[in-house]
Amino acid sequence: MPDLDQYIQDSKAAIDQALMESLPPAGSSRVADAMRYSVEAGGKRLRPLLCLATAQVLGAEQKTVIDVACALEMVHTYSLMHDDLPAMDDSDLRRGKASCHAVFGEAMAILAGDALLTLAFEIISVYGQEEQQATKAVRIAYELAAAAGVKGMIGGQELDLLAEGKNLTLVEVEEIAARKTGALFSAAVRCGALAAGAGQSELEVLSNFAHLTGKAYQIVDDLLDSKATAAELGKPVSADLKKAKATLPALLGAEAAQARADQLYRQATKELQKLITDAGLLQLLAHRLIYRDK
């Protein structure tokens, strides 16, 4: 197994290259430039990384999964672009850079988001036209659509919008996280598994792993956000706190939240041990996601 840092670096480079090749050419239209801007704005490429790592653990070659990985990142990026819009979370910043609508205007940000969502499915349909891949493609498209739709991300964003300023219960906070973040997180692993030809039992184990890891990831994200707020003086409090959005650490306290993340990581690890193949890469990746400091 390769060194994790090297693996992440190489995979990110492959993902970035494939993304840029899949997007409409720079300068071909304003929508194209808006799409490229938001995809290039980057981020950690966690979903495509999870997809590629899952496929690798199951023995698939990277080049047979890279398109699926790109589709996941496009769905993720579209959701950020639309969530940032003035009518939604009204955020002019995304990862320290101006958000898409702040640069290209609202109309172009709406259209470019729509275009990324559409392109994700176009890529999967092209992937499915390769020999013997149609059956995989329709299952992958289903995973993507279900994770992105009203039972997944869109429903989560709705709950999030409706929750502003309200006191949420722990159950409600977890429901929002499961739909906003967890659904596409799990889809990333499941799509990687499907592309690699996983059987039903492997798929179930990997789904459980993804579900547990996604929950832990969200808790750690909220923990880091709340710490950053306290530590970096002079910086406005985080967007979530400002809008009084409840998080699990805010409800349980930092210590209990961290304990919960630890427990979820241990459970996720246990799931991986049920696989016949060596899932060390996925375990290392989960560890990196959960025990990070930024």
Residues lying near its own copies in the complex (CB under 8 A)? 24, 28-32, 35, 78, 82, 85, 87-88, 105-108, 110-111, 113-115, 117-119, 121-122, 124-126, 128-129, 134-135, 137-139, 141-142, 144-146, 148-150, 154-155, 157-158, 161-162
Taking the complex as a whole, the smallest distance from the CB of residue 33 to its own copies amounts, in Å, to 11
Nearer to its own copies, 164 or 278 (CB): 164
Nearer to its own copies, 91 or 125 (CB): 125
Taking the complex as a whole, the smallest distance from the CB of residue 261 to its own copies amounts, in Å, to 29
Taking the complex as a whole, the smallest distance from the CB of residue 57 to its own copies amounts, in Å, to 25
**Sign of the torsion formed by the C-alpha atoms of 273, 277, 281 and 285:** negative
Distance of CA 269 to the CA centre of its chain: 20
- For the chain, state the CA radius of gyration: 19
Nearer to its own copies, 88 or 228 (CB): 88
Nearer to its own copies, 240 or 271 (CB): 240
Nearer to its own copies, 157 or 213 (CB): 157
Nearer to its own copies, 191 or 282 (CB): 191
Taking the complex as a whole, the smallest distance from the CB of residue 93 to its own copies amounts, in Å, to 19
From 79, 24, 57, 101, select the one nearest 196 (Cα to Cα).
57
Taking the complex as a whole, the smallest distance from the CB of residue 175 to its own copies amounts, in Å, to 12
Taking the complex as a whole, the smallest distance from the CB of residue 114 to its own copies amounts, in Å, to 6
